[in-house]
Structure 1
Amino acid sequence: MNADEARMMNYLAEHEGEAIDLLERIVNIDSGSYDKAGVDAVGEAIMGFVAAQGIQTGREALDTAGDAFTARLPGTTNGAHLLLMGHRDTVFKTGEAKVRPYTVKDGRAYGPGVADMKAGLAMNALVMTAFAKLGLPHPPLVMLVTGDEEIGTPASRPAIEAAARGARAVFNAEPGRVSGNVVTGRRGGIFFRAAFTGRAAHAGLDYEYGRSAILALARKIEAWTALTTKDPDVSVNVGLVSGGLSVNTVAPVAACEIDLRYGNPADRDGLIAKIMAVAAEISVEDTTCTVEIIGEFLPVVTTPEQDTVLALYTGAAAQAGLTLTGEFTRSCADSGITAALGVPTICATGPVGGRAHSDEEYLELTTFLPRAQALALSILRLAEGPDA
């Protein structure tokens, strides 16, 4: 370890507590994807943390989701920038933070979004402030904090693409896997909304006249989920359903939302066509079904360029006391957007956690510092590389 690396390691250790305080603050702010005020409040807290160290911040207003926040540090070396990114929205309803505020027990932190992925955002903010304070060599650094990943990034995708274009590498601070590994491969995913129309009728007096939109929906659910296959790795899940007017009315309307996952980018268009083909089939006479895409994640596919960055990152992680490698995961993330642009992308660089999207979600607090050190050492070593 050289002198610059030792200074960085020590600085992060000395200031870890400040980042954990930030983590507690933002976990205790409700930020479900549709709670724009809460999502933006989390972004403001993070930007306030880095701005206090003189880092330039910016904000792109978005009407239908939390705004896109950026923080930028000019490079002390030439070359392409590095992008540190993450999302601050959660899947939890407003009020959850009051019911389950940030708590610590037996070395684990708990609370809504503590691992997925507010810890990663606090970690990125700490690393940015370390480079701002120490003045150590680094490429240009961009930190992006978005607010709608949990619903497929419908509003923030252009901001992610703009921030990633021309980058040398992307580090997405989703939670580290339970194994301790980072992620180098992910499935793609598409969210659909299906709307059904039928014909209302009194369920007792005029049953035969009615055309049940709910019955049409139920029959199509079976057809959609039958598209699930183990090889290739495709799954279809209908996770939300609604419909009807009253218990004694043949339902004139119904709706559902569909989650499609796939591994091979070449399968995307064919799978969409199959979803649409099921929608076009007449499952109940005189009913209709229309389907629209409401959110999408792209796959992360391993590339030689990604392997090069992974080797550098795992070496830096080893210096921080971690033994890890890259692994494939069946879940989706915004890292697919940057990988699709051809930018080497390492995902799940955040602290290790588990049970995301549940009231048992936890963060392994002992992983916060070494994961921050691994990221910071990677940045230092990228500053030394031939493309710096």
Structure 2
Amino acid sequence: MSPLVSPRSAGTMIPALLSFFTLSLTSPAIGHAQQPKVAAKATPTEAALDRLAKQPAVAKAMAALQSENEWTLTEQAALCEIPAPPFKEAARAAAFKDKLAALGVQKLRIDREGNVIGEIKGTGPGPTLVLSGHLDTVFPEGTNVKVKREGTKLTAPGIGDDCRGLAAVLATTRQIIANKIPFNGRLLIVGTMGEEGPGNLRGVRALFSGPLKDSIDMFISIDGTGFGITNGAVGSNRYRVTYKGPGGHSYGAFGMPNPIHAMGRAIAKIAELEASTNPKVTFNVGLVSGGTSVNSISADGVMDIDLRSESAAALADIDARLQVALRQALAEEKARWPKSTVPLSLVIDTTGLRPAGTTADSTFIVRTSLAAARTMNVYAPLTISSTDANIPISKGVAAVTLDGGGVGRGAHSLDESYDDRADGYKGPQWILLVVIGLLTTR
């Protein structure tokens, strides 16, 4: 997951319209805190989820997710200890596929991109829903991924993002199959490749451009920790910008256009770009390089640029102004040395494009996610972020990213941790209610 929204990092949060009051549910697995009743009438979706949680097969599965929580944690740690650096997730994919096979998932395969795909067939006709987690991490090959456990706290790179998501998918799948929970349609269980930065969502892009692209009606990604519902897709445009020249001696060749100076001019212009706050727009020069020595005019100046917004139109606008700034910097550096015949050029390589968009708060998938959180008596805010859900959202498919429960700290850092505390099991419980709710209620 691209770190944008807490607990991943700071970002915009849209308060969810949730009502909190004690429900007369009998299942001990729900684990309600005692709260005073208030005058509020459940919406049809909320009432349907309340009834769903009481159905025998669902209630049994919910109870098992609590009593067998250690199974989920064991799977989380086991997957985390299989390295999955960018573009090298195959070993973790193979293990995830084997675990799904052991649970009884059918039609398991690995597609051309490396995604793991399996199916659970419903008892009657209905929609196709994807339940997924991403297999990759941001950590390079050779990173120590051994999990350290202290009580309820697990520490290792990737333990929350997204080993927690993968474990929650496994736990949910396990209970649906073991308890033969009836539902309509088809549930696709997926482990995706390349969700993190350099992967550019390559796994989910392949999913929505392959044989299944026209059959997926709804999409859920489980990514990260806590209880957030991401229904806003932050788009991003990423570029590697290179100013190029022949280079030369800092004294003997002085008077020629300097690629690093051109890059400096560009950075100054980028720093002065106006960026709106509503919708939120951001820009960043994150990496710079070039040069061989202090007394050489470099042959190149290279920088990596990241632009983001929750609005496709706003992202396009800041991108257009960036392009102008880059070319103005080139022209100004050439004009600075009018007598020079030395060439200076600009190369702009696209390194990542993530589309922006929103699954409306009023859609069935968002209403069901909120209603399930209410039934669970957990607070689930609506948030925006950059996740696998960006792709289906951009294609008009109803999609959200749900957190996997528990408490996470230090995502994308070597000391990343996940704390299960007393109620980490509520994450998979919530996910199960959402999944079955989407496939059985309207």
TM-score w.r.t. length of structure 2: 0.77
**Do residues 379 (structure 1) and 379 (structure 2) align?**
no
Q: Which residue is equivalent to 1:117? A: 162
**Do residues 269 (structure 1) and 319 (structure 2) align?**
no
Distance 1:383 1:146 in 2: 22
**Do residues 93 (structure 1) and 93 (structure 2) align?**
no
**Do residues 169 (structure 1) and 218 (structure 2) align?**
yes
Q: How does 1:161-310 map to 2 (within 5 A)?
A: 161-162=208-209, 163=212, 165-177=214-226, 180-209=227-256, 211-227=257-273, 229-231=275-277, 232-281=279-328, 282=330, 283-285=332-334, 286-306=343-363, 308-310=364-366
Distance 1:250 1:235 in 2: 32
Q: SS in structure 2 opposite 1:113? A: coil
Q: SS in structure 2 opposite 1:333? A: coil
Distance 2:295 2:135 in 1: 43
Counterpart residue type for residue 157 of structure 2: P
Q: SS in structure 1 opposite 2:326? A: helix
Q: SS in structure 2 opposite 1:269? A: helix
Q: Which residue is equivalent to 1:75? A: 122
Counterpart residue type for residue 187 of structure 2: L
- The CA deviation at 1:376 is 1.0
Q: Which residue is equivalent to 2:420? A: 365
**Do residues 46 (structure 1) and 96 (structure 2) align?**
yes
- The CA deviation at 1:208 is 2.9
Distance 2:214 2:315 in 1: 23
Distance 2:419 2:233 in 1: 23
Q: Deviations over 1:5-26 (max 9, x none)?
A: 1121133234432332221122
Preserved CA contact (<8 Å) 1:227 1:234: no
Distance 2:394 2:324 in 1: 27
Distance 1:383 1:348 in 2: 17
Count of aligned pairs: 371
Q: 1:299 to 1:354 in 2, by over 3 A?
A: farther
Preserved CA contact (<8 Å) 1:213 1:251: yes
Distance 2:429 2:213 in 1: 23
Of 165, 172, 188, 1:142 maps to 188
Q: SS in structure 2 opposite 1:350? A: coil
Preserved CA contact (<8 Å) 1:317 1:370: no
Distance 2:402 2:437 in 1: 19
Counterpart residue type for residue 369 of structure 1: Y
Identical positions, percent: 22
- The CA deviation at 1:326 is 3.2
Q: 1:305 to 1:29 in 2, by over 3 A?
A: same
Q: SS in structure 1 opposite 2:63? A: helix
Q: Which structure is higher in helix share? A: 1
Q: Deviations over 1:162-214 (max 9, x none)?
A: 4564434222111145xx432222321121111220221112333334x3212
Q: 1:55 to 1:325 in 2, by over 3 A?
A: same
Q: Which residue is equivalent to 1:61? A: 112
Tell me the C-alpha RMSD between the 2 structures: 2.3
Unpaired runs of 5+ residues, structure 1, are none
Distance 1:382 1:157 in 2: 21
Q: 1:341 to 1:83 in 2, by over 3 A?
A: same
211-220 or 252-261, which moves further after superposition?
211-220
- The CA deviation at 1:53 is 2.1
Distance 2:383 2:439 in 1: 28
Q: Which residue is equivalent to 1:328? A: 383
Q: SS in structure 2 opposite 1:156? A: helix
Q: Which residue is equivalent to 2:175? A: 130
Unpaired runs of 5+ residues, structure 2, are 1-53, 335-342
Preserved CA contact (<8 Å) 2:165 2:223: yes
Counterpart residue type for residue 396 of structure 2: G
Q: 1:360 to 1:165 in 2, by over 3 A?
A: farther
- The CA deviation at 1:128 is 1.6
Distance 1:125 1:219 in 2: 51
11-20 or 369-378, which moves further after superposition?
11-20
Q: 1:278 to 1:153 in 2, by over 3 A?
A: same
Q: 1:7 to 1:14 in 2, by over 3 A?
A: same
Counterpart residue type for residue 244 of structure 2: T
Distance 1:16 1:192 in 2: 43
Q: 1:96 to 1:55 in 2, by over 3 A?
A: same
Counterpart residue type for residue 116 of structure 1: D
TM-score w.r.t. length of structure 1: 0.87
Preserved CA contact (<8 Å) 1:116 1:356: yes
Q: 1:105 to 1:49 in 2, by over 3 A?
A: same
Distance 1:93 1:234 in 2: 29
